[in-house]
C-alpha cells in the first residue's frame, strides 16, 4: 500500500457478529468514519468492549459517544484529518485511552433493548396523549 499500512493495518472485510467481541478486544481504539448513521450500534458494541470511540457528529453517534469522556466526536465526517488527530492523541496517551475505554463501557451499559423499547413506547404514549387532548 502507498503509505505502508499493509504492515500495520489488516482490512478483514465482514466479520461474523458473534466473533466481533474478539476483534474489539484486540483493538486499542474504534474509529467509525461514517457519513450517515441512524443509531451507531457498532460504536456502542465497541464501547461495551472497553474501547474509546472516535466518530463524526452524525445521527445517534452524538448520543453513543460522549466527547472527551468516552472518545472523541469530530466536527465533520468529511474531514479525515480530524479523525486522525484524535486517533493520534489516543494512541500516544495510553492512560487517557484506558480511561476513555472504562468510561465508554460504563456508558454503554446504560443501553439495552429492553430500555430502548420502553423509551420508544413512552414516546408513542406521550404523542397519543397529546393528540387525544
Q: Residue 97: which CATH number?
A: 3.40.50.2000
> What burial class does residue 73 get, using C-beta atoms within 10 Å of its C-beta: 0-12 exposed, 13-18 middle, 19+ buried?
buried
Task: Please state the rounded mean pLDDT for residues 122-127.
Answer: 92
User: Cα separation of 40 and 4, whole Å?
Assistant: 30
Total tally of structural domains belonging to the chain: 1
What domain range is 63 assigned to?
5-132
User: Cα separation of 102 and 34, whole Å?
Assistant: 23
What pLDDT does 5 receive? Answer: 76
Give the chain's mean pLDDT: 91
- pLDDT of 10 > 90? The answer is no
What pLDDT does 36 receive? Answer: 87
- pLDDT of 56 > 90? The answer is yes
pLDDT band at 2 (very low <50, low <70, confident <90, very high): confident
What pLDDT does 1 receive? Answer: 58
Amino acid at each position: 500500500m502507498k503509505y505502508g499500512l499493509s504492515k500495520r493495518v489488516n482490512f478483514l472485510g465482514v466479520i461474523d457478529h458473534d466473533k466481533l467481541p474478539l476483534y474489539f478486544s484486540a483493538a486499542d481504539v474504534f474509529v467509525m468514519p461514517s457519513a450517515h448513521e441512524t443509531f451507531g450500534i457498532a460504536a456502542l458494541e465497541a464501547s461495551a468492549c472497553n474501547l474509546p470511540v472516535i466518530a463524526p457528529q452524525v445521527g445517534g453517534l452524538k448520543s453513543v459517544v460522549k466527547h472527551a469522556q468516552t472518545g472523541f466526536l469530530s466536527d465533520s465526517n468529511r474531514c479525515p484529518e480530524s479523525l486522525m488527530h484524535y486517533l493520534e492523541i489516543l494512541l500516544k496517551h495510553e492512560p487517557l485511552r484506558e480511561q476513555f475505554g472504562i468510561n465508554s463501557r460504563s456508558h454503554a451499559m446504560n443501553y439495552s433493548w429492553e430500555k430502548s423499547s420502553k423509551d420508544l413506547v413512552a414516546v408513542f404514549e406521550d404523542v397519543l396523549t397529546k393528540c387525544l387532548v
